Amino acid sequence: MIINTGQRTDIPAFYSRWFLNRLKAGFVMVRNPFNPIQVTRYDLDPSKVDVLCFCTKNPAHLLPYIEKIPFRQVWHVTITPYGKEIEPKVPPKEEVIASFRALSEKVGNRALTWRYDPIFLSGKYDFDFHLRAFDHMASAMKGSTETVIISFIDLYSKIHRNFPEVTRVSHTDQYRLAAAFVSIAKKYGMEVVSCHEDPGLARLGIHVDGCFTKERIEKAIGEKLKVPANANMEAREGCSCLLGHDIGAYNSCRHLCRYCYANYDQNLVLSNWQRHDDASPFLIGNSLPGDIVTEAREESWIEREVSLFENKKAVHQKF
């Protein structure tokens, strides 16, 4: 199975010590965000958990420990060109790019993906700005990844609440930007993948199959997976990405990006941060009276081919 860490918060950036403690303890407890008394206990056992998937804007805190994490790893690192008025707590871009390159040296460029998302247009961040920024970043990361993922901003109600002046990128501008990004990415040895966008982008040379699909994870880890039919139940409609089994919590990412879908209340983010305990099995808080704890059903999804010799041995033992 796959454990995700980054759909709800940024664990490498803000909770790396807690995460390493969980690996040492061998388990983690996760509250259902829509029914908090329901708790799932996951064993962090390499014989059951095939892959750990990380999404972060700052991998630096986990870099010294990468080789000590006894799991296959897939990393998505988001690096965008926005300033502090949009991403208040994200480190300087050049620092994140340096960490990106160092991470690639440790996990390999197939296991590491650059995310340039979300994309929006404004007076400051206009079409030409994005082209210059994308080219500069792609040049700096040449050789460190084979893939860049793009997506255009989705105007969820929680995003509108924190970022009311942002507007949707028009269909025409999406295609103009996407075509330019394909040309730039190709120059630096990268393919462009879209995340839950218009399938018509495929005619520009963009891969529209998704960013966390079975096939992309297989390519990253060099193994074939036999994925259960219900494994992508947490994905959005029309999305085939494997986004379940996330151990994070909403309203806990302290980057405080104005476009974030996982934070809707900055005061709650700060309150949750104060409730965080590196020694707790929960990311936020601890166990509570009335918790209903369920053991996750965990089994390896790695397809292990059975050799002809093993088949003959099994038949002999059967009879």
Two tokens at 9? 């918060």
pLDDT tens for the 319 residues of the chain, in order: 999 999 999 999 999 999 999 999 999 999 999 999 999 999 999 999 999 999 999 999 999 999 999 999 999 999 999 999 999 999 999 999 999 999 999 999 999 999 999 999 999 999 999 999 999 999 999 999 999 999 999 888 888 888 999 999 999 999 999 999 999 999 999 999 998 889 999 999 999 988 899 999 999 999 999 998 877 656 566 678 888 899 999 999 999 999 999 998 899 999 999 999 999 999 999 999 999 999 999 999 999 864 344 444 443 444 3
Nearest CA among 201, 194, 212, 245 for reference residue 40: 245
Instruction: Give the pair of three-digit tokens for residue 49.
Output: 């958990």
Q: What is the pLDDT of residue 238?
A: 65
First to last CA, the chain: 33
C-alpha–C-alpha distance, residues 180 and 204, integer Å: 9
pTM: 0.92
Inter-residue contact 141 to 97 (CB < 8 Å):
yes
pLDDT per position as a tens digit, 91-114: 999 999 999 999 999 999 999 999
| Structure tokens belonging to residue 225 | 């997976």
Strand intervals (E) in the chain: 2-4, 27-32, 35-43, 51-56, 72-78, 112-119, 147-152, 191-194, 292-295
